[in-house]
Structure 1
Amino acid sequence: MRSSVSGRIGSGRSDDPLAGKMMMTQDASTAVSPSGAGVMGPVRQVLQDVWGYDSFRPLQEASIRSVLDRRDSLTVLPTGGGKSLCFQSPALCMDGMAVVVSPLISLMKDQVDALRACGVAAAFINSSLTQAEKQSVAEQIRAGKTKLLYVAPERLLSSRMLDFLHQTTISFFAIDEAHCISNWGHDFRPEYRGLRVLKEQFPAAAVHAYTATASQPVRDDIVNQLGLENAEVLVGDFDRPNLTYRMLRANGRLQQVVDVIERHRGESGIVYCISRKEVERTAAALNQLGTVALPYHAGMSDEDRKQSQDAFIKETCDVIVATVAFGMGIDKSNVRFVVHAGMPKSIEHYQQESGRAGRDGLESECVLIYSGGDVVTWKKIMQGDAQATAGGALQSLEAINQLCGSPVCRHKALVEYFGQPYPHENCGACDVCLDEIQLVDDPITLSQKILSCVLRVKERFGASHVAKVLVGSTEQRIVQLGHDKLSTHGLLADDGLDAVRMWIDQLVQQSYLQRTGEYQLVSLSESGRRLLHRDGNPRLSVPGKAKRSRSRAVSVDSWDGVDRGLFEALRSKRSAIASENNVPAYIVFGDATLRELARVRPTTLEAFGKIKGVGDRKLADFGETFLEPIRAYSETHQLEMDVKTVPAPLATAPRAVLPNANSISAFDHFRRGESIEEVAEKLGRAVSTVVGYLQDFLRQEKITDPSPWVDKSTRDSILANLPLVAEGRIKPMFEFFEGKVSYEAIRIVLTCHQNSETPAVSEAE
């Protein structure tokens, strides 16, 4: 076992490992001097003893030095970069109490719970506390027993709170989620603007701001709005190398979402949707398909949102389906995947939301599913919001739209958007660099055809019209305009309308084409005109033909050598402890720690204490509790113990074949025995559409008896004439019955027949 830090931080143990009753105090002799060669020594010792880490992450040390030197600072570190330790660890090595400004009650509670689990005397004050609880916190502060106090900006700026803080020694102020202070930021909160008063009210206390996403204008605004003096601005690497990014054009969104979930079965994940309606529908569909998923959006009651969030944090549900209302308040380190089932409204939002994955540094997946309709949806939402348009929201929307459709390295594009160079030729962790996107062989010639068509319609039409001309549509408007006579009419007829629309979008996203005006008319840019003379390098992808995914390099923090059965056993033990103490599971131990335990399989407390993420407090509180199942499992399965690595292959989950969310919404109606007509009326859909839903239901439930929907005589007649559909078409059968048997009845019977056998019958007409 590691020895505790004697003479520097008071140590002690609580009978309740998660009650947070142990108070860490510090006498005057242990305060860290703002200068000197050994300034970081005590902080490194705190890092090891309290959190169980041997070293700081990039930029953490420089940020901590600013705190110890009592110099105002702004630290920008991506989500998962360890911002919290930049103010939590020095707070334990300085006289007085650090005040942390945090925007959300749930975020405060999670961070304070995590600190208390490590033996740190931390507290929060917000509306969730009773008057007696607030009084207790105040007494602890007056007694000098609290090292970190979390408080919301509006409460901090109340005259009563300011007067109270003047009566105690403040080591410094830490402003978390500092991008909220800037009108240029993606989560502007007016109450943050008032924090400038801290420099006036507490001139002796430094102010330190922390955020995960801030471009140069936002950084400048934060420093200016807070009135930071001679501030040190530290900007970390925006790259998250442990995240694998994939950006997929929508093609059955629910299927694409489930594909990701299947790759991470049993792991925690977030699915973001643009609208509340999509959240509800997607969550319901996932539950129908066997995934424990809960919704989260601003239209739900506070209590319902809290229940969803608590279930996710405590791992009683695997997936949260949410609008962007969900995120900032989640301090959960082991989110293994984030899916955007619709394009976010800015790259800043995407960086923040996708950054919820892999905060423990382990490999995680981020998938963005997008379509041109997402842009239209966001523009409708933004209509009438003068602040959004004035703040550059439309430009931000165009930037994320361009990123989605451009087949360029995702890591490179994200990093360079925030003003940093990306030195690698191949990131090895995105769909482009993993060679999962198939590109057309001659993109210049293909682009020339499209650009030429735009010119021939005199740059006076939108992308949809141009695409229809290129595929040879003869609809009335095209004929009336004479566009069926153009040399480019039908030039790309073999490629299909969807493919041509995608290529037009990609040319827009790569700035060879541009959209202008209220009606989004497509015209050539200067680079587009040069491309007509083969001067350019467009990248156009082959639609619907993703290559087989290549495995990326596996890091030491991944699954190499981890016994999955033991990991699950330890995960269950962690969940039981967390439930018993009503705290998030990751507060007990993070996934990275559980994986290393299941990899090394320590036999003693001394070996257990060397595992990353095991501090002195957690070693004493949980060491024997976890050693017991490790020993038992290893003996039962005859596993070697006290080892470093045992390579183990990963199995890839098979792809599921799923209906869409609209179909799934009808399943319960069919289960209740409602007729097709009744379901159509209740859902406001055409009968033919509901028949399609029914076919999905029949396939999903593997139903072989069509009698609830088709009478026996009709069923027998259809089955007796199966050879009529031998070539894969049902129209010959429909004609054979001379219209006396509907297409709908034929489809239903054939679907049930396919469930009982495996004939090669298509539904094409």
Structure 2
Amino acid sequence: MGPASALLRDVFGFDDFRPGQGEIVDAVTAGENVLAIMPTGGGKSLCFQLPALVRPGVTVVVSPLIALMRDQVRGLREAGVAAGALTSGNTPEETDAVFDALHDGSLKLLYLAPERLASGGTQRMLAQAGVSLIAVDEAHCVSQWGHDFRPDYLRIGELRRTLGVPLAAFTATADAETQGEIVTRLFDGAQPQTFLRGFDRPNLHLAFQPKDSPRKQILAFAAARKGQSGIVYCGTRAKTESIAQALREDGHAALSYHGGMEPDARRHVEERFATEDELIVVATVAFGMGVDKPDIRWVAHADLPKSIEAYYQEIGRAGRDGAPAETLTLFGPDDIRLRRSQIDEGNAPPERRAADHGRLNALLGLAEAFECRRKTLLRYFGEEHGGNCGACDLCDSPPDTFDGTEAVRKALSAALRTGESFGSGHLIDILIGNETDKVRQRGHESLPTFGVGKDLSRSQWQAVFRQIMGRDLMRPDPERHGALWMTEGARPILRGEESVTLRRDTIDRAKASRPVARTLVSEEDAPLLSALKAKRRALAEAQRVPAYVIFPDRTLIEIAERRPRNLDEMAGISGIGAKKLERYGSEFLSVVASEAEAMHPTRRKLAGKSSGALYDRLLAAQAKLARGAHGTDKPLSCSASQLAKIAELRPSDVDTLERLLGERRAERFGAAFLEVLQEG
């Protein structure tokens, strides 16, 4: 076992690297210049933290937000690593401690905000500190056309040249253009060793909904996930405050966050979100890039994001611990008009505006997709996904589609016959034959298209126009109050050379139901997981650190499912390194032991019978398959009464098991249960 593998186990508590991590760690450790593009939650931080422990001297980490730096420093110190940060949020004592550790050579990782690089004193201090590596987190901030551009990131290339040390740059999302900017500005145009890791986040459930009383939709989504940390992204500051208020009135702990707040107020929200298990933050995109909280269980968008990259980055803040997490994105025609006008009214050159429209089109294509959303999303990033993912709303319930060619041609014709001078509302009035004052004043009731769309309702026509804009067949003109004009892509449809398929919106206001949250563990393990979380919360509050610094959700889930009986077995749980085992192992073992003593009433009835031991073996077999054979499926379990019935009846074939368990459970557990039953 090499030094990196030993540190991976002893310090970070992992037996194996995640896919793609090992190669990056080897390259960074060897002193190569590296550019790594990895999905959020893919373990970027480990790829520079672990090499920092292997290499001599100190590693400087340039990171964009104070909250992110403080969280990572706390987590490293909990694992026994000498780490520090120099930020404007430091107390004088904290700053003195960092400088002392630098001077005596004990510090291994030093986190800096990019703004600190503007100081000549910082560069001199680093030149004397024995720096052996620079790591740049969120490297896309160097892109001048990106929405996260930070001017001081442009100083990092100069720092690399001054110190003469290798540089490793990390980001979760960077298209070819942004990659080029990173190479130019951080590596002086010399191509670093580049790693592009898969963009798939299989633990995220993806869902989109057309807007229909969006506040109610957000409240319904949050209500089904009560007690779970979440983020709601909004397009305006005012909306963050109104939705946060509505969530509080609905019984949630919720705070708003936006760029118009005072710095102290923003820091207060960041600190509460980091330390509280059940808080919802309703925010503009000002919140999130530096959020390192691994157990955010859901992200909802009350408004459409600005691009597919922004969408991917924002949903990526959920489920960074690898446990199941959910996403919901609401969208409507007003979102599309707003995003188009923001692009058209920007100061970017024409080619940049065209590229931005392309990124928005890709997101709209994802919103209006007919097949598995994960396939559509990954295809944009150049990846192919074998089959349907089974973890998106379209896999859960395939959409109802129809041949929309005629409807689209009617809509295009109505726009052309009115000089492409009106928005969708007026065009719909013409199509359904609604003789408004505006229609009469312009004589539009005499047009050939007046009333030709009576076969569709107003809401159906609104869905048609939304999909027309989503497919970039028509665009709103910002200089003419959003009047819709036809793009070149629409002409083949108008001429009858191409057809178009549309989705029927399946909104049913009368039957609207609150979505069911996906569970983190099986029914049998849920009480133990709750007890483990309570223990974690007590320890975190006593130490005044975020709960996930003790253990992330994923570690607690594994403890609940595997139920270790001693410290040796606890050491085999992912995320428990030597320091944390020493500090917390016995505390959490006592929780497992206490819960084990509380035997389920159904199992108690089998005490002393042969079926009792059989019940226990069936329960153990179920635990191994609770998330499927590969550990990535939705958690599934049989009830205690179902297991007891199997233990007593001892069925010998799959058909009987299916009658007792139902098709889904028999498919998941049938073969394993029959094997247990045959063993006696």
TM-score range, shorter chain: 0.7 to 0.9
Which residue in 2 is equivalent to 1:262?
Answer: 223
Aligned to 2:375: 412
CA distance in 2, matches of 1:352, 1:201: 32
Supply the AA of the counterpart residue of 2:374. H
Q: CA, structure 1 residues 353+226, in 2 after alignment: closer, same or farther (shift >3 Å)?
A: same
1:209 alignment counterpart: 169
Alignment match, 1:79: 40
1:189 aligns with 2:150: yes
Q: Does 1:345 align with 2:306?
A: yes
Deviation at 1:150, TM superposition (A): 0.5
Spell out, residue by residue over 1:379-402, the C-alpha distance to the aligned partner (whole angstroms, 9 max, x if none).
677797536998548525555445
Flag the structure with larger Rg: 1
Name the counterpart of 2:526.
564
Q: Tell me if the contact between 1:405 and 1:505 (Cα under 8 Å) persists in the aligned partners.
A: no
Contact 1:75 1:234 in 2 (8 A): yes
- Partners of 1:341 and 1:276 lie apart in 2 by 12
The 3-state SS of whatever aligns with 1:613 is coil
Specify which of 247, 252, 256 is matched with residue 286 of structure 1. Answer: 247
Residue number in structure 1 paired with 2:503: 541
Greater displacement, 242-251 / 494-503: 494-503
Structure 2 contact 319–325 (Cα < 8 Å) conserved: yes
Cα pair 1:108 1:150 within 8 Å, conserved? yes
CA contact (8 A) 1:406 1:506 kept: no
1:575 aligns with 2:553: no
d(CA) in 2 for partners of 1:650, 1:109 = 39
Supply the distance in 2 between the matched residues of 1:348 and 1:190 (Cα, whole angstroms). 21
Displacement of 1:85 after TM fit?
Answer: 0.6
1:222 paired with 2:186, answer no
Deviations 1:84-134 (A, max 9, x none): 011011111111111100111111100000111111111111122233432
* Residue from 60, 65, 69 that aligns with 1:108: 69
- Normalising by structure 2, what TM-score? 0.83
Indicate the percent of aligned positions where both proteins have the same amino acid: 37
* 1:469-517: CA deviation from partner (whole Å, max 9, x where unpaired): 1111101222333332334322332432232122122123224444456
Task: Work out whether residues 600 and 645 of structure 1, in 8 Å CA contact, stay in contact via their aligned partners in 2.
Answer: no
Q: Deviations over 1:712-733 (max 9, x none)?
A: xxxxxxxxxxxxxxxxxxxxxx
Q: Partner residue of 1:628?
A: 590
> Partner amino acid for 1:237?
G
Which of 256, 259, 275 matches 2:236? 275
* Contact 1:507–1:538, Cα closer than 8 Å, also in 2: no
Contact 1:561 / 1:599 at 8 angstroms: preserved in 2? Answer: no
CA offsets 1:721-751 (integer angstroms, 9 cap, x no match) = xxxxxxxxxxxxxxxxxxxxxxxxxxxxxxx
> Matches of 1:408 and 1:456 in 2, distance apart?
35
* Residue 18 of structure 2 is aligned to residue 57 of structure 1: yes
Alignment partner for residue 609 of structure 1, among 571, 589, 599? 571
Question: CA offset at residue 457 of structure 1?
Answer: 3.7
The one-letter code of the counterpart of 1:213 is: T
- Point out where structure 2 has 5 or more consecutive residues left out of the alignment: 604-615, 627-634, 639-680
Specify the code of the residue in structure 2 equivalent to 1:209: A
SS, match of residue 369 in structure 1: strand
* Structure-1 residue corresponding to 2:281: 320
Note the residue ranges of structure 1 that are not aligned, 5 or more in a row: 1-37, 652-765
Please tell me whether the aligned partners of residues 512 and 531 of structure 1 are also in contact (alpha carbons under 8 angstroms): no
Moved more, 67-76 or 159-168: 159-168
Give the TM-score of the pair, scaled to structure 1.
0.74
- How far is 1:535 from its partner? 4.3
Question: Which one-letter code corresponds to 2:176 in the other structure?
Answer: Q
| Preserved CA contact (<8 Å) 1:60 1:82 | yes
Kindly report which structure 2 residues correspond to 1:149-548, keeping only aligned pairs within 5 A, or say none.
Answer: 149-203=110-164, 205-228=165-188, 229-315=190-276, 317-377=278-338, 386=347, 392=353, 395=357, 396-397=359-360, 399-407=362-370, 409-418=372-381, 420-439=382-401, 441-457=402-418, 459-516=420-477, 518-519=479-480, 520-532=482-494, 535-545=497-507
Q: Match for 1:631: what amino acid?
A: A
The amino acid across from 1:369 in the alignment is L
Give 1:427 deviation, angstroms.
2.7
Q: Name the counterpart of 1:703.
A: none
1:599 paired with 2:546, answer no
- Aligned residue number for residue 31 of structure 2: 70
For the residue of structure 1 that corresponds to 2:282, the secondary structure is strand
Q: Does the aligned pair in 2 maintain the 1:406–1:510 contact within 8 Å?
A: no
The alpha carbon displacement at 1:307 in A equals 2.3
Decide whether aligned partners of structure 1 residues 548 and 298 sit closer, same or farther in structure 2, where only a CA change above 3 A counts.
Answer: closer
1:135 pairs with 2:96: yes
Task: From the superposition, tell whether residues 610 and 367 of structure 1 become closer, same or farther in structure 2 (CA, over 3 Å).
Answer: same
Does the C-alpha gap of structure 1 residues 517 and 112 become closer, same or farther in structure 2, counting only changes over 3 Å?
closer
- Contact between 1:472 and 1:484, CA under 8 Å: does it hold in 2? yes
Aligned to 2:677: none
Deviation readout 1:190-230 (Å, 9 max, x if unpaired): 11111111232112x10111111111100110110113544
Distance 1:568 1:500, change over 3 A: same
Distance of 1:207 and 1:293 partners within structure 2: 40
1:43 aligns with 2:19: no
Cα distance, 1:539–1:361 mapped onto 2, change above 3 Å: farther
Given that 1:472 and 1:490 are in contact with CA atoms closer than 8 Å, whether structure 2 keeps it comes out as yes
Residue correspondence of structure 1 range 750-761 to structure 2 within 5 A: none
User: Displacement, 1:292?
Assistant: 1.2
3-state secondary structure, aligned to 1:628? helix
1:720 paired residue number: none
Query: Are the aligned partners of 1:407 and 1:539 in contact in 2 as well (CA < 8 Å)?
Result: no
Kept in 1, the 8 Å contact 2:340–2:476? The answer is: no
The CA distance in 1 between the partners of 2:298 and 2:349, in whole Å, is 29
The corresponding residue for 2:106 is: 145
For 1:404, give the aligned amino acid: A
Separation (CA, whole Å) in 2 of partners of 1:214 and 1:145: 35
Read off the aligned partner of 1:623 and give its amino acid letter: G
Q: Do 2:537 and 2:547's aligned partners in 1 also have CA atoms closer than 8 Å?
A: yes
Secondary structure of residue in 2 paired with 1:210: strand
Helix, strand or coil for the counterpart of 2:195? strand
Per the alignment, residue 94 of structure 1 pairs with 55
Deviations 1:513-545 (A, max 9, x none): 444562344344454333346544533222244
Cα RMSD for the two superposed structures: 3.0
- 1:258 Cα deviation from its structure 2 partner: 1.8
- Give the residue type in structure 2 aligned to 1:608: M
The amino acid that maps onto 1:637 is: M
Secondary structure of the 2:167 match is strand
Secondary structure of the residue that 1:174 maps to in structure 2?
strand
